[in-house]
Amino acid sequence: MKYEINQGNIPIKLWLDDADIDSMNQAINLSNFPYAFKHIALMPDAHVGYGMPIGGVMATKDVIVPNAVGVDIGCGMCAVKTSFTHIDTANLKRILGKIREFVPLGFNHHKEMQDIAMMPDTESVEDFDSITKREFNSARRQVGTLGGGNHFIEIQKGSDGFIYLMIHSGSRNIGKTVAEHYNNLAKKQNEKHKEIPDKWDLAFLHIDSDDGRKYLSEMEYCVKFALANRLLIMETVQEIVVDIAGHCVFDDSINIPHNFASLEEHFGEQVWVHRKGATPAYLGCIGIIPGSQGTKSFIVEGLGNPESFESSSHGAGRKIGRNRAIRELDFDEEVANMNKLGILHGIRSSKQLDEAPGAYKDINKVMQNQSDLVKMLIELSPLAVIKA
Domain with residue 302: its CATH number is: 3.90.1860.10
What average pLDDT does the structure give for the chain? 97
Average pLDDT over residues 126-148: 95
Q: Is 80 helix (H, G, I), strand (E, B) or coil?
A: strand
pLDDT tier at 192, thresholds 50, 70, 90: confident
Domain span holding position 236: 3-319+360-386
In a domain, 340, yes or no: no
pLDDT above 90 for 235: yes
Average pLDDT over residues 21-30: 97
In a domain, 56, yes or no: yes
CA separation, residue 150 to residues 76, 376, 385, 386 (Å): 11, 22, 12, 10
* Number of domains making up the chain: 1
DSSP 8-state code for residue 82: B
In a domain, 328, yes or no: no
pLDDT tier at 141, thresholds 50, 70, 90: very high
What is the rounded distance in angstroms from the CA atom of residue 309 to the CA atom of residue 43?
A: 11
pLDDT tier at 8, thresholds 50, 70, 90: very high
pLDDT above 90 for 120: yes
pLDDT above 90 for 262: yes
pLDDT tier at 12, thresholds 50, 70, 90: very high
pLDDT above 90 for 346: no
Threshold 0.75, pTM exceeds: yes
pLDDT above 90 for 170: yes
CA atoms within 13 A on the CB side of 242: 12
What is the rounded distance in angstroms from the CA atom of residue 41 to the CA atom of residue 56?
A: 6
Please give the helix or strand (H or E) that residue 164 lies within, else none: strand 163-169
Q: For residue 90, what pLDDT is reported?
A: 98
Q: Which one of the listed residues 39, 109, 258, 314 is annotated catalytic? A: 314
In a domain, 337, yes or no: no
CA separation, residue 223 to residues 167, 219, 274 (Å): 15, 6, 13
In a domain, 336, yes or no: no
pLDDT above 90 for 388: no
Q: Catalytic site residue 314?
A: yes
In a domain, 203, yes or no: yes
CA separation, residue 239 to residues 157, 232, 234, 291, 384 (Å): 19, 11, 9, 25, 17
pLDDT tier at 124, thresholds 50, 70, 90: confident
